[in-house]
Chain A
């Protein structure tokens, strides 16, 4: 089981440090930070999330195993001396971060420092003698007595999945999701509301001829409830939803494409979810615990229409010169707008200069040539559905090309966020809250968002 838990800032300062078993020497945080900072092993320069520490002094392995995850720039670390389940510890670290965020509203170095007493109180209930006790915000509420001191969220960079709703659309009550689950509003009364977010991260790889090589959706139905009295909730999904690709061959599903059915490869559910009628009518019943949690995770490789089509042309244009033409078309309806769209493309190593030409009259677009890593960057603040944008770049090289220019540039990678749009067509048909009285009508927010995970076009 774990020996210690600590949170380090990016600079390596101890923000929180709790020793549960007194079996690991005090300097572990420093040893850990130095290891991670100057990692160079196995030809890799990034420390894996699990590694064993070595002390040179004794010339053998000191038996301390380090686990870490990065959450909003902070390092959440655990140490152990025994052969534990690594996924258990890593999962725990993520969960601790989530619980703290539930309590503090915002997870940051500042909020942790301001609330250290509360954080220690939480840590004592979450872990006892290195054994996980509970990470449910709901359960913890009965044992935690400190009140959070909420830091001003407006001053902070928005973080986590909540952030994706804040830009662009005015329909979203952006600050709501950064409020603490337990803290009272300044007015004293809590607003009755519930958020259900369908977040889909999509990965698509296009071949050089524009075909889809691989495509995948990692989806989550995330819930955050601010309802008092823990009413039961029913979530209804698409009735034609089916699970499992049956055959097993990656090509089988193509036949079903176009039939409109949503076919998930696999899915799993939060432990509070009851699936009594799921097989019959695809509804999930649950009493949502406090705090943010995933109701359901799902994975899909069923073919879908990629939201953006990328077309890249690169041609030699005379001696030591070349031209890149990058065309991107939004394949979603025009009432939808994607935001924070960024395209990147590595250029040949001996590119010395790149001059850009955008379409005449466009605004909110920015181009850059990163000399250090020879990368072209194209930022588009907004991208309206159905529209196509083009970028032309003229490149100058310092030496002759070795081979085909296509081999030395690309691929084009793209990141974006599309609010109120989901590619899987999985839907929450309705969100039913068991009524306490006829006047009880809490706010319900069902929100969709699609984000790029790995969206790559080879050239």
Chain B
């Protein structure tokens, strides 16, 4: 062969396809080969060369492997789009699968399995059966994988034709490659089947453990991962397994090492002897550390796994903290993971070394890394009480450098340190106050304000400091507002003098009348009521001793941790999420029932918690998504109190309680009643009524929530299943937390054509609603077609006639409503017009009145309507003509509703 393949990418001036066609049919083999290469080149850059299908397939019958492979590559790509032509290739495939050359036999089965065309699959079975018993291991190992391919296309066929048994036989094959592929194929099939197919008995276990030693590195991983499902009978068996697997820790392939670690960790659960466990830990440490010498990408995976391992077994790497020190050229994703592990491994013994490192990181260039390092110092202080003082002195040193983001981060963590060790380190408050005016990040500001409020009695000018924030109160972000509110109340309770009195009045006014943030307002009212009824009680509440905090950020829930540890060396262990949170069941979509389409409720709730769960003691009440509450929404909100803010505390106390506590009275939402879809008896006290509605040209889902349970419900979310019109929520559901007995009404804007279910149009709308306290509720609603009738549905008489004529008669559908009576044509016309069904014309036919209307639904589908009735007498005949007559049943439902009202 001469020249470069890239020449195949060059185009000729003449039509490319005809030229290629000519070359493909050339007498000369070399020319044909070159032509196929050109076709493949065109294919890889995305050109459509499917029209050459027959010509390329004609080149398939050749002894030249190079050419054959190219043709097969082409076939895999285009067979699906040309299923009828693909049949042409079948004969050659079947013939090739019996070729004396094992490479050609294997190539034929491998390729046939990749062609997902039913007609081809039928012909695959016999060759596959033969190849599974072929003399050549290369053919057998290819056939093993092919069974998995076939299972993916047609599972029944695989089971009926006994391929599973043949596959299981291959586990005992004498060639390790074949064993590995058989294991991989069986594991995959098991994954997709609910029946037990691939069960690992102690017999298979010992066979696989033997094969392990001879396998390629990849095969070793397949086998180790399959074996990790095996449950050893007792400690003795577990020890035996571990002994067989330990040598894998010395493998140069990181995947083998991690899969071996997983196996060992799983077996260790069964081993009771502490000596054996300690010894195993000792054996695992060096290979784990060695993973950190691999490429940074692998290091990242290793670090995410180590993070889990040290949470469960901190001793394994307790002496290795140095290897987790960041290198200056580590990618940022590696540095961040190392920081986490350093915190986890920090102890009284190594804290000085660790702090020295953190201090150094805090002066590096990357801002995000610096912040994380400062936070790490704080977290160590909270974790190790004997080191707290040293941590604080490092933080103070950093504050002195006066790099703005370092200072702010330091203040945030110092707040947590104060919280953890009350009355220990307050002497540094003066230093912190020096940086007051440079704070511009909400979290830092909020932290500083918390500190001032908490220690108001020790800060001489606490009132002045707080006052400096009050001016900008309305503009502050919510977390700062909440902190200011609380801090001012604390200040007042600690120093009930005139200054704080005036301040509290300003703050309460701002936080009740001037705000539309329900969190802030609720908190303000609570303080207000407390202060006005019993200031002593207020003190007990507001200045109560706080529970001790611990550093639980990034600490996983024990049950989740166990699940993740069982998934070491999988994606799960990198994401720190259980597999079902990210592995979608897309592959089995066709077999699913419709209800399964709802995304897992837990998934959403989980990912919301994944972020930094920073233990900030002071902002805990702002967990309700503020943005949701703040957007101007039709959600029912509590009316603001009508009474003006009283002048001084005396008045405050004298106030009639009822006047300022509207929160206790559920405000009854207004509007027409909605059909109840979830009765309170089914919804554990939660009642949901809802209906689709159209307003100002926009479709809404009008919902009413009534909480008849004993607990406050919050965190409402809604999800719609696939439906005929692809109706889905256009935004989040905005429902405020519902106290027991409260109700809220909301209009949820909807969009169309999002997730459409196939099949004839159906009016079924399946809805799922969840909140933070209850299970997910599912209920059904009915889609009323008239909410889709658009405002521009009016037709000119002439175009109405034209459209009517242009549509074939088969598109006309008729239905009688014997029970409906039109008492006045005008009233009916007005009523229909209100729902965007527009009057076109009217005529008399014998004693009957015939009325014509037009309507239009999205995507410009017109509906032409003819109503025939005797006014004043029951019985209406309705005919409709539309390009989409399958919508007629839905239309009749809608028109019946409209006429009935």
Contact = CB atoms under 8 A, between A and B. Distances in A.
Given A23-B586, A407-B401, A88 B116 contact: no
Nearest to B331: A46
Chain A to chain B: the 10 pairs with minimum beta-carbon distance, closest first:
A63-B584, A454-B327, A49-B297, A266-B286, A132-B218, A88-B255, A43-B368, A218-B293, A402-B402, A48-B333
A88 B221 contact: yes
Contact of A83 (B65, B372, B402, B579): B579
Nearest to B67: A145
Interface residues of A, number: 95
5 contacts: A65-B582, A128-B145, A131-B145, A268-B252, A271-B216
B567 interface: yes
Q: Is the interface of A mostly helix, strand, loop or mixed?
A: mixed
A290 interface: no
Q: Is the interface of B mostly helix, strand, loop or mixed?
A: helix
Interface residues of B, number: 104
A23 B241 CA distance: 36
Given A82-B191, A85-B225, A413-B328, A136 B216 contact: yes
Contacts of B146: 129
B586 A114 contact: no
Interface stretch (A115-123, A163-171, A174-182, A355-363): A115-123
B184 interface: yes
Interface in B397-448: 400-403
Given A91-B298, A403-B401, A453-B327, A299 B290 contact: yes
Interface string B450-494: 000000000000000000000000000000000000000000000
Contacts of A87: 254-255, 257-258, 298, 301-302, 569
Contacts of A82: 191, 583
Interface stretch (A54-62, A313-321, A389-397): A54-62
A58 B586 CA distance: 13
B171 to A, nearest CB: 16
Given A133-B218, A250-B322, A85 B258 contact: yes
B570 interface: yes
Given A120-B73, A248-B319, A85 B255 contact: yes
Interface in A199-224: 203, 205, 213-214, 216, 218
Given A48-B333, A299-B289, A84 B571 contact: yes
Given A48-B300, A52-B575, 4 more contacts: A83-B579, A87-B301, A453-B329, A454-B328
Interface of A: 1, 14, 16-17, 21-23, 42-50, 52, 57-58, 60-63, 65, 67-69, 80-88, 90-92, 94, 113-118, 120-121, 124, 128-129, 131-136, 143, 145-147, 149, 203, 205, 213-214, 216, 218, 244, 248-250, 265-271, 294, 297, 299, 301, 346, 373, 402-403, 407-408, 411, 413, 453-454, 456, 458
Nearest to A406: B363
Contact of B332 (A45, A299, A456): A45
B255 A91 contact: yes
B5 A65 contact: no
Contacts of B141: 133
Nearest to A245: B286
B322 A46 contact: no
Contacts of B403: 402
A88 B302 contact: no
B365 interface: yes
Contacts of A214: 322, 325
Contact of B293 (A22, A128, A299): A299
Question: Counting chain A CB atoms within 10 Å of each CB, which of B44, B181, B184 scores highest?
Answer: B44
B252 A86 contact: no
Given A83-B567, A403-B400, A271 B217 contact: yes
A149 B7 CA distance: 12
Contact of B251 (A80, A124, A268): A268
B289 A50 contact: no
B371 interface: yes
A205 B181 CA distance: 46
Nearest to B40: A117
A81 B252 contact: no
